[in-house]
Amino acid sequence: MTSLVSRTARSTELRAEEVSFDAAALRFLTEAAREGELRIIANHPDERSEREYLLKEREEREASNIPPGDPVLFLEVTIGDASEFAPIVLVSGEEVMGYRVLRARGASVPNTIAAVLLDVRDRTGARPHVYFGWTEGNPLKYLARFILFGEGDIAPITHEVLRKAEPDPTRRPAIHVG
């Protein structure tokens, strides 16, 4: 019971000691930031195929009105040890059939996304915009999944982590849900 209460209380705290990018990820960020706004599509990795990225990009461009010529990066998070409070988030860059993917490993999906976005903002000077698909289903079920397993309705929890970590809304990475 104590563990559950503790986990719930710290669920919206930024839980990353450091964010470390490999050379490919840094190159992707630098090149994307040169184009203006940094647009990042949060993606749950399934097949990691060209088709998956094509469909996800098309879906997010339509739902969120991302201009056709603007470059996008994909961000995928893999859960490491969920009990580790402040892990080092490791981000690697990989190109999959022309799609640029940032792969991160952290304690929970929303916390890892928030940590990566804040670090990206600080490294590039650009305010990142992250795009999520709308989650269908019972929000209480997703909240319970987040508290217990670090997964669930990612967008609102990521927003809350960012809101607590960066009180200035003009400096806070932008969250888009479509």
The predicted-structure confidence for 119-128, as pLDDT tens digits, reads as follows 999 999 999 9
Largest CA distance in the chain: 51
Predicted local confidence at residue 86, as pLDDT = 62
The model's pLDDT over 153-167, given as tens digits with 9 standing for 90+, comes to: 788 889 999 999 999
CA-atom Rg of the chain in angstroms: 15
Q: Residues 31-47: what's their mean pLDDT?
A: 88
Tally the residues of the chain.
178
Percent of the chain with pLDDT over 70: 80
Enumerate residues 6+ apart whose C-beta is below 8 A from 155: 42, 132, 135, 175, 177
* Span of 1-10, 53-62, 99-108 with lowest mean pLDDT: 1-10
Confidence of residue 142 (pLDDT cuts 50, 70, 90): low
What rounded mean pLDDT belongs to the chain? 86
Say what percent of the chain tops pLDDT 90: 60
Residue 13's pLDDT is 74
Cβ pair 124, 26 in contact under 8 A? no
* Residue 66 neighbours by CB under 8 Å, 6+ apart: 39, 60, 72, 131
- What's the pTM? 0.85
